[in-house]
Amino acid sequence: MAHDGALVAAVTAFFTGPKVVCFPPYSCRSQEAAWHSFPAYAINVVAICAPASSMLTCAYGNSLLASTWESAVLSWGETMTSVGNLSDLELAALISSKICHDVIGPVGAIYNGLEVLDEDGDEDSRAYALEVIRSFTEQASAKLQFARFAFGAAGSAGSVIDLGDVANVSKGFVESGKHKLHWGAAPGQMPKDQVKLLLNMVASALTALPRGGEISVEVGGSLERPSFVIRCRGKGARLPQHLPAFLAGTVPVTLDALTIQPYYTCRLAHAAGMQLSVAQTGEDVLMRAVPAL
């Protein structure tokens, strides 16, 4: 078709810049759709999915486009097949499993420390055991408080959550390890779905920095219609684990306690009416969520 050349040229240019994966809202379901009908900034939100034999396949928003327009156009939900069919009960079970997975480590360390207190009379050993118990108790508490806000109702009777509480639980969760959090959000209250999305983006940011580093959170826009930017900076920074695949609609893994969080992040973006993207920009990783148009 006449637009093939423009599409191939745009995608070729894209390879020289940041690689971005983007979640809805844009959709193209007509073979007659023209490249010029997309917004001028389309090249900034094109996502590389996977090469299909000799044909480059890429994603634009929640649509899949190919270098030949005869290719089928699929939505994010349609490409996820069995994952998209995940029931609420299955989602709840997997999130419960993830929370247990996250806290079993520090709880096990606390138990080991208590065993040392019971069996070892050496004062130095007992002092060390108490320090271990104290440290891992704080870590377990931070993880559970974070999960309460990120996955639960956070005990709030209303539909909004105070950002001061969000900042505190994020700081406790992130800084319990080898990461540092820089929080940039004005005081106020924000709708629960947006807060949950922000917190799950923070959790995803940790997987972008396996060797530790700094995570900067910026909240813009209004409290009712916010936008989020999270920058991950550190040695060996990479795209968040599994999230790009879910955003592109290609799911190479089975959903389990380790992969349910990025899937849930995508579900939250949809529920909150926000467009989520991730990009490798030099040595940094950038995560962005903006209101859907």
Q: Residue 63: give the domain boundaries.
A: 4-79
The answer to whether residues 107 and 15 belong to one domain is no
Calculate what percentage of the chain has a pLDDT beyond 90.
55
Q: What are phi and psi of 220, to 5 degrees?
A: -115, -175
Name 20's bridge partners. Answer: 279
Least confident of 4-8, 176-180, 204-208: 4-8
Regarding predicted confidence, which is higher, 46 or 211?
211
Domain total of the chain: 2
Phi-psi region at 68: left, alpha or beta (left = phi > 0; alpha = psi -120 to 50): beta
Instruction: Please give the sequence-ordered ranges of beta strands (E in DSSP) within 36-128, or none if there are none.
Output: 46-52, 55-60, 63-66
- Asked if 253 and 245 count as a contact pair (C-beta separation under 8 A), the reply is yes
Which CATH number fits the domain that encloses residue 162? 3.30.565.10
Radius of gyration of the chain (CA): 22
> Angle between the 260-272 and 88-119 helix axes, to the nearest 10 degrees?
130
pLDDT at 4: 43
**Based on the domain organization, do 228 and 107 belong to the same domain?**
yes
Mean pLDDT of 197-211: 96
Say whether both 60 and 89 belong to one domain. Answer: no
Paired residues of 231 in beta bridges? 216, 286
Q: Are residues 143 and 260 in the same domain?
A: yes
If pLDDT is split at 50, 70 and 90, which confidence band does 90 have?
A: very high
- Based on the domain organization, do 66 and 137 belong to the same domain? no
Has this prediction a pTM greater than 0.85? no
Q: Based on the fold, state whether residues 156 and 277 are members of the same structural domain.
A: yes
At CB < 8 A and 24+ separation, what contacts does 150-159 make? 150/196, 150/199, 150/200, 150/203, 151/95, 151/99, 151/196, 151/264, 153/192, 154/192, 154/195, 156/192, 159/191, 159/192
Q: Which residues pair with 145 in a beta bridge?
A: none
Mind listing the pLDDT tens digit for each residue in 5-32?
A: 444 444 334 333 443 444 433 333 332 3
Q: Is the pLDDT of residue 80 over 70?
A: no
Confidence class of residue 151 from pLDDT cuts 50, 70 and 90? very high
End-of-domain residue from the set 79, 110, 142: 79
Q: What is the mean pLDDT of residues 101-119?
A: 93
19-22, strands of its sheet edge to edge: 19-22, 274-281, 284-291, 226-233, 213-221, 179-184
**pLDDT score at 24:** 39
Locate 102 and state its tokens: 């996250």
Is 141 in a helix, a strand, or coil?
Answer: helix
- Of the chain, the percentage scoring pLDDT greater than 70 comes to 68
Band of pLDDT at residue 146, cut at 50, 70 and 90: very high
Residue of 188 and 80 predicted with greater confidence: 188
Per DSSP (E only), the strands in the chain are 19-22, 46-52, 55-60, 63-66, 160-162, 179-184, 189-191, 213-221, 226-233, 274-281, 284-291
pLDDT at 228: 97
pLDDT band at 115 (very low <50, low <70, confident <90, very high): very high
| 54 and 92 together in one domain | no
Claim to verify: residue 27 and residue 92 sit in the same structural domain:
no
How does residue 166 score in pLDDT terms, banded at 50, 70 and 90?
Answer: very high
- Amino acid sitting at position 168: N
